Amino acid sequence: MVQDQASRRSVLTAVGGTLGLSVAGCLGDRARAAEGELSGRIVASGSNTVAPITQIAAEDFEADHRHVTVVVDPQGTGAGFSVFCQAASAVQSASREIYDPEARRCDEHGVSYSRYTVGQDGLAIGVHASNDWCRTITLEELRRMWVFQATDEITHWRDVRDDWPDRRMQLHARDSASGTFDYFTEAITGEVGNVRDDYSATSQTDEIWRAVGENPYAFGWGGVGHFRAQQEAGAALRAVKVESDEDGEFYPPEREYIESGRYSPLARPLYFYLNHAMLGDEPDLIGSFARFFINNQHNLAEEVGFYRTADDVLVANHDRLDRALESVGVDPDALSVDRRDP
């Protein structure tokens, strides 16, 4: 495992390209007083976007239980579900809900599960900081830029608006294994995967923003947490204000607009899924990690640049975990980590 990142916030830029990170953190819990009470290994597959939240949860849980290892493997939501639905991971981070074919695959492998909403994210639309023409963009312009037919029709900035430069756009975004890709393409083009095929695709969101920050004619989309982290690291980036499908106004990807619902449709919930079979095999280990994750989800999400859920979502998560534990014959009160409501 890779140890000792420069800061807790640095996980956002490090976890996207690194597997199995494990660093000690410090969100306390009752379990801290019972050293050695838990031991074992938990594998968390899934989303590159949600991985920073899962990674911080893993670090802090390991700090409370020095005999526990949590391996965070952020290969993308779709690729992660392939692992999760074959019973190869206990926890699956996801930037979208599970699709029907994935659910059927889980069923074929005897994997029952429950879903927990642990934060909110916005997708930033970003350009180079020197770009002084693209300050706002409509949903229709985004659709025209990214729909599959745009491969031949929209190649230069002027093809989007007449008064924009006659310079070729350099496009950067997530690849098709990503839940972010699924969410964006459905929200903007109306169909998952209905996207042009001539852009620079990557599984790592930070690569998108680094590339945009190096080219005055670049354009990209990806998670706002990664966007802000790259800005803080010195990348020459600027967020574009996007038309809202709620009121038709233009908003940047900032907390007040994401949490209020005005930054729509490019705001979304973030999830983790829990494998009930593995929960039944190691209820105290895996159940305690899930409880710890939920207890601290507000702080975890905000620490790495995402946004908190409403308190009633946290309570619903706890109730759902209680039901999952009871379904495998475990008393929720028997976990090493206590439930903590808002």
> Residues 145-190: pLDDT tens digits?
999 999 999 999 999 999 999 999 999 999 998 888 999 999 999 9
DSSP element (H, E) containing 293: helix 283-295
Question: What pLDDT score does 77 carry?
Answer: 92
* CA-wise closest residue to 52 among 214, 238, 204: 204
Find the radius of gyration of the CA atoms of the chain: 20
Residue 63 φ/ψ region, left for φ over 0, alpha for ψ in the -120 to 50 degree band, beta for the rest: alpha
Alpha carbons 264 and 157: distance in angstroms, whole number? 24
* CA-wise closest residue to 120 among 316, 341, 314: 314
Contacts with 248 (C-beta within 8 Å, 6 or more apart), sequence order: none
E-assigned strand segments in the chain? 40-46, 68-73, 91-94, 113-128, 136-137, 170-174, 200-202, 218-223, 237-239, 241-243, 250-251, 267-275
In this structure, what token pair is assigned to residue 62? 């390991």
Alpha carbons 74 and 52: distance in angstroms, whole number? 9
Alpha carbons 266 and 239: distance in angstroms, whole number? 13
Q: Give the predicted TM-score (pTM) of the model.
A: 0.74
Domain architecture of the chain: domains with CATH = 11-120+270-334 (3.40.190.10), 121-267 (3.40.190.10)
pLDDT band at 260 (very low <50, low <70, confident <90, very high): confident
Asked whether residue 12 carries a pLDDT value surpassing 90, the answer given is no
Question: What pLDDT score does 21 carry?
Answer: 37
Cα end-to-end span (Å), the chain:
34
In this structure, what token pair is assigned to residue 154? 């929209």
Question: Angle CA(189)–CA(76)–CA(324) in degrees, nearest 5?
Answer: 105
Give the number of other Cβ atoms within 10 Å of residue 33's Cβ: 9
Contacts with 30 (C-beta within 8 Å, 6 or more apart), sequence order: 336, 337, 338
Give phi and psi for 17, each to the nearest 5.
-115, 10
pLDDT band at 298 (very low <50, low <70, confident <90, very high): very high
Rounded to the nearest integer, the mean pLDDT of the chain is: 89
Torsion (CA) 290, 340, 60, 121 in degrees, nearest 10: 70
State the residue for tokens 């700090």: 63
115, burial (CB in 10 Å: exposed 0-12, middle 13-18, buried 19+) = middle
Contacts with 213 (C-beta within 8 Å, 6 or more apart), sequence order: 128, 129, 230, 235, 236, 237
Asked whether residue 213 carries a pLDDT value surpassing 50, the answer given is yes
Asked whether residue 16 carries a pLDDT value surpassing 60, the answer given is no
